[in-house]
């Protein structure tokens, strides 16, 4: 079975906790571990949609990767905006040092349990003036998303993003429009924690949206919403 979760924000060797964001975050790695063990089996797969560790360097992230390695199932990881320990250029070298049931996804595609899965971080400018480098990163991330699905079967398709594929005004952005072009049926993403009002829940046209930020889902991996549909109602705002 396929599950997804995002924004684990594990403390790394830095010991950085999330308690300051509310009581729900107290000892949250233990909540993740318990819920994961209750739900996920060794034959299952979990899509982890970024913001995995507070580490700044790979050495600091090792305890968090070992934490994930000790949980059941095969884990497919993409980068989030806080995953400074994982640079694009180091993906291959990091992967070589990980157990086979942790797979780093960087503009790549995989067929997992009969589902075509492609992932990349995405990009969004929030609460700041756009900088010249933003356009370069945006184009690069769009290219990675297109690349991820280039050789994958057409159906069913699931995309992993960290950033939502829509703008704060709840309109699909370039990632959302590309997902429609690529005929992606479901997009799982994170980044939007409890308290952020900019939540657009799918479906939007033919695209189902599933927000799986850890505090939004009670720190529990969520089964992917891939049920067959005969029609698509309008978007739901929550």
As for how many domains the chain has, the answer is 1
* pLDDT tens series, the chain, 238 aa: 999 999 999 999 988 889 888 889 999 999 999 999 999 999 999 999 999 999 999 999 999 999 999 999 999 999 999 999 999 899 999 999 999 899 999 999 999 999 999 999 999 877 677 788 899 999 999 999 999 999 899 889 999 999 999 998 899 999 999 999 999 999 999 999 999 998 987 788 889 999 999 999 999 999 999 865 433 333 433 3
CA quadruple 18, 194, 223, 119: dihedral, nearest 10: -80
- Give residue 28's pLDDT: 96
CATH of the domain at 182: 3.60.21.10
Residue-number span of the structural domain to which 41 is assigned: 2-237
Long-range Cβ contacts of 103-108 (<8 Å, 24+ apart): 103/74, 103/75, 103/76, 103/77, 104/77, 104/78, 105/76, 105/77, 105/78, 105/148, 105/160, 106/78, 106/79, 106/144, 107/143, 107/144, 107/145, 107/147, 107/148, 108/147, 108/148
Which residues, at least 6 apart from 208, have a Cβ–Cβ distance to it below 8 Å? 185, 186, 187, 202, 225
Instruction: Write the CA distances from 114 to 45, 169, 203, 222, integer angstroms.
Output: 12, 35, 22, 18
Tell me if the pTM is above 0.85.
yes
């Amino acid at each position: 079975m396929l599950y997804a979760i995002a924004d684990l924000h594990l403390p790394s060797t830095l010991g950085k906790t999330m308690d300051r964001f509310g009581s729900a975050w107290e000892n949250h790695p233990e909540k993740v571990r318990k819920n994961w063990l209750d739900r996920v089996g060794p034959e299952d797969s979990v899509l982890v949609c970024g913001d995995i560790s507070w580490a700044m360097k790979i050495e600091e992230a090792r305890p968090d990767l070992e934490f994930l390695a000790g949980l059941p199932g095969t884990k497919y990881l993409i980068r989030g905006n806080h995953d400074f320990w994982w640079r694009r250029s180091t993906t291959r070298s990091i992967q070589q040092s990980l157990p086979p049931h942790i797979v780093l996804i960087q503009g790549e595609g995989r067929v997992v349990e009969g589902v075509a899965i492609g992932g990349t971080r995405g990009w969004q400018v929030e609460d700041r003036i756009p900088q010249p480098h933003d356009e370069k990163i945006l184009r690069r991330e769009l290219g990675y998303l297109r690349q991820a699905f280039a050789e994958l079967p057409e159906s069913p398709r699931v995309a992993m993003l960290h950033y939502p594929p829509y703008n704060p005004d709840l309109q699909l952005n370039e990632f959302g429009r590309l997902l429609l072009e690529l005929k992606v049926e479901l997009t799982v993403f994170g980044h939007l924690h409890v308290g952020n009002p900019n939540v657009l829940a799918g479906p939007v046209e033919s695209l189902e949206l599933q927000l799986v930020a850890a505090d939004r889902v009670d720190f529990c991996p969520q089964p992917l919403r891939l049920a067959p549909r005969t029609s698509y109602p309008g978007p739901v705002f929550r």
